[in-house]
Structure 1
């Protein structure tokens, strides 16, 4: 991608910042996003979510091969927090993913979906098959 020439582009809130227009969106090089705009990851780190809003601008790096959408911080909403029942259901599901199908013990890590057996049971099975 050739080097873009920075010009003043208008943001949806009426401000003008240096960037360029690409795909109908104000575009900014990496590290030069205007104040008041944040990526999804930055919103998540601040305890926020986009809240249904569309991307208002984009950030581009790696010569245009990588990009991230920018959201308006004023329109962002607080992240939803799971209820007690939802957290209990998630804990139950994670316990089931850690439970060995052979010995029934909690392996302490998520077991592969293919056989749902812990490392010890898998090694015992392969050792027995090799010895036979």
Structure 2
């Protein structure tokens, strides 16, 4: 019977707390914390920061969170950042909004008929075309097969 992959280790200093604390060792040089052990009011993942309207502000992660799924036996890792050092997300500028609108317009135009369909044109069997073009192509293929 094998031992635990990440046993508890007493670490003398961590960036989010003064004094010693227990972690699950080190992962790539950062303290490793298991699910439910990270202080939620001090540390957050990138997605949690985004949900709060924050960004890491160029700071490196201070810890790594690991989650183990019991059924699939997969282990996932997530970087944890200090909430105190995070900065607000930069607002979208008019130039950014224009660039995003142009990129989305290019995805909405059907290469077959050239119309703006108002939705992102899907791929059908490796071919990119809108629904009406796909329907006419299928109808002609059925007529040729008959």
**TM-score scaled by structure 1?**
0.83
Q: Is the 8 A contact 1:27 1:58 kept in 2?
A: yes
Give unmatched runs, 5+ long, in structure 1: none
- Counterpart secondary structure, 2:64: strand
CA shift at 1:105, angstroms?
A: 3.1
> Post-superposition shift, 1:106?
2.9
Number of equivalenced pairs: 132
Structure 2 residue runs of 5 or longer lacking an equivalent are: none
Write out aligned runs for 1:2-41 (5 A).
2=4, 4-9=6-11, 10-15=13-18, 16-23=20-27, 24-34=29-39, 35-41=41-47
Note if 1:96 corresponds to 2:106.
yes
* 1:21 Cα deviation from its structure 2 partner: 2.0
Report the 3-state secondary structure (helix = DSSP H, G, I; strand = E; otherwise coil) of the residue aligned with 1:75: coil
User: CA shift at 1:48, angstroms?
Assistant: 0.9
With over 3 angstroms needed to count, the CA separation of the structure-2 counterparts of 1:64 and 1:102, relative to structure 1, is closer
